[in-house]
Structure 1
């Protein structure tokens, strides 16, 4: 029997399952369960024994959880930063902003000139409409200094 003392100083006596663990290098899961039952019967609460394999498994799992939590935190920060760069505080605000721009784009799409058209130009013709100069322009063209440079290559 293994003897321990509780707070009151009374000896706690453990049974065969706890005693069997003394000096063992490897403890099976079944042996740990049996020892934990004896701990509970002895009134020890808030503590349990686990074998080394279970401890190692839990330690590895905790490491994976830490990595996953860091990745999630990094993703959340990246999302928050991207939203801030887009001028939105939430994904819902960003979607609303996008929808507002789509409404504006649809409005401009319906205006003249929104669609591309290919002009048809016949060979030898101009797409510039020729109009008669008005009386004022004709008077300007008749001035002697303008007549002197008329036809000059620099003024085409």
Structure 2
């Protein structure tokens, strides 16, 4: 059962967190280009839909991760507790910062399409969004390293 849970957990992480990380990373660039009139607003809207949709499905990752940790008896191990905390921080960052800023930038793009100036607002928002997305991706990178290395674990690595 442990191998099945671990497999589903890893697959869910790859198939849900990966697309969010990539789409969120691309969004600021395309938002700046769209605000400057160099690109169609459809691209940023599509990237936002990817982020939003995969965020909902991504709840499976910690759910299966907790089930796997319980099955393995490692829920109180420091590496797993740190991973859980970092995952929670990444989730809050995504839900409270990244997705709302993407929505605001989409609204700015809509205003720009109607002839209002949006370059400066979009550039500032995109820069902040790029920073938040970088932190989000760094948090996931640390979680992945912790999951592989498992400091103090007696199960390998």
Q: Same fold (TM over 0.5)?
A: no
> Where is the strand percentage greater, Structure 1 or Structure 2?
1
Tell me the TM-score normalised to structure 1 length.
0.24
Q: Which has the larger radius of gyration?
A: 1
Higher RCO (CA-CA < 8 Å; seq separation 6+)? 2
> Where is the helix percentage greater, Structure 1 or Structure 2?
2
Tell me the TM-score normalised to structure 2 length.
0.24
